[in-house]
Amino acid sequence: MAGKTKVAVLISGRGSNMEALVRAAKAEDCPFEIALVLANKPDAGGLATAAAEGIEALCVDQKPFGKDREAHERAIDAALRERGVQVIALAGYMRILTSFLVDAWEGRMLNIHPSLLPAYPGLDTHARAIAAGEAVAGCTVHLVTAGVDEGPILGQARVPILPGDDDHSLSARVLEQEHKLYAATLAKFVGTL
């Protein structure tokens, strides 16, 4: 692909990983640009952050769609395509996707997960790793597929679990690595398109 790859970042909350991707995209040699930040909740704090950075911030509120998740995703898909988005980066997007959006963006949708997948998919990853007596935790960037947190792994970062760690202290250290890993992995990934 010629020029910078247009990336949309999907969020549900404050968007700290989105912020890390925005910072990375400012580098002249970065192969991607953040063309859109899209949230499923109007109160997602990351929308204001994106707007302050001069990035289009859009909410496609899930509430009006009720339980029709596919209809919600069709509205998201239309917004992405209208803006020429080429790759989606999920960054704290807290909805399980239907096959509609997963299939529509197959091979072009990434997610970051706060564990060393395939261990601890889903929620409460840090507490589960500590309870299991793990010595190491971390984070994973993977392609999104139909199975939750099951897609091909593109990159991982390891973080030691320290004596006395709880899910909050471990989460804070893993998040630091998430910010570095996601930007580096996304840049490498778009270079292969």
Is 113 among the catalytic positions? yes
Return d(Cα 87, Cα 99) in angstroms, integer.
Answer: 17
Cα dihedral across residues 62, 67, 73, 79: positive or negative: negative
Residue located via tokens 């793990």: 134
Hey, what are 118's tokens? 């395939």
- 128 Cβ contact list (under 8 Å, min separation 6): 120
169-175 long-range CB contacts below 8 Å, 24 or more apart? 170/126, 170/129, 170/130, 170/137, 171/114, 171/126, 174/114, 174/126, 174/137, 174/138, 174/139, 175/16, 175/114
| Options 72, 113, 142, 179, the catalytic residue | 113
3-state secondary structure of 145: coil
Coil, strand, or helix at residue 10? strand
Tell me the catalytic residues.
Answer: 113
